């Protein structure tokens, strides 16, 4: 089943992309939630026209995303967490903490939903997070988890 996405969905695609999904996923989740519409001929034509009109705005959005990525640069963030003697932290480091640290360190606001980890962060040490600023602009940020 082909659908046209109305919003960015992590792991599936970006807004206005035409993607193939399983029929149950499309009918029972994407369409009722308003995340997608069926990719009929008229909907495809409408989407193409919308994409054409938004091309200029998309360039500005991409330039803004690149500016944020440049502002972040090679920053290494420091995240403080309570930890035990073995180096295991109580709880885990979250994307909200990374977002707040970026705002404090560089004055850059990044939505926490655009940040992802490569694995769980439950020990003191050095880690990396990926920030998905735009479909063509992704930035890796290194951060150290230190004991409070």
The residues, ordered by sequence, that sit 6+ positions from 105 with a Cβ below 8 Å of its Cβ are 75, 77
pTM of this structure: 0.66
Q: What are the strands, taking DSSP E only, across the chain?
A: 2-5, 18-20, 36-38, 76-81, 115-117, 125-134, 137-147
At 43-93, the pLDDT tens digits run 999 999 888 888 878 888 888 888 888 888 888 999 999 998 898 999 889
């Amino acid at each position: 089943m082909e659908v046209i996405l109305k919003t960015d969905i992590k792991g599936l695609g970006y807004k206005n992309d035409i993607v193939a999904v399983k029929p149950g996923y499309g009918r029972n989740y994407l369409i009722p939630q308003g995340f997608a519409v069926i990719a009929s001929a008229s909907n495809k034509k409408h989407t193409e026209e919308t994409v054409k009109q938004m091309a200029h705005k998309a360039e500005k959005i991409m330039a803004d995303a690149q500016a944020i990525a440049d502002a972040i640069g090679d920053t290494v963030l420091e995240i403080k967490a309570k930890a035990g003697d073995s180096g295991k932290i109580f709880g885990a480091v979250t994307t909200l903490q990374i977002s707040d640290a970026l705002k404090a360190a560089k004055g850059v606001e990044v939505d926490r939903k655009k940040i992802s980890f490569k694995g769980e962060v439950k020990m003191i040490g050095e880690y990396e997070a990926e920030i998905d600023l735009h479909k063509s602009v992704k930035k890796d940020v290194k951060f150290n988890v230190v004991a409070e």
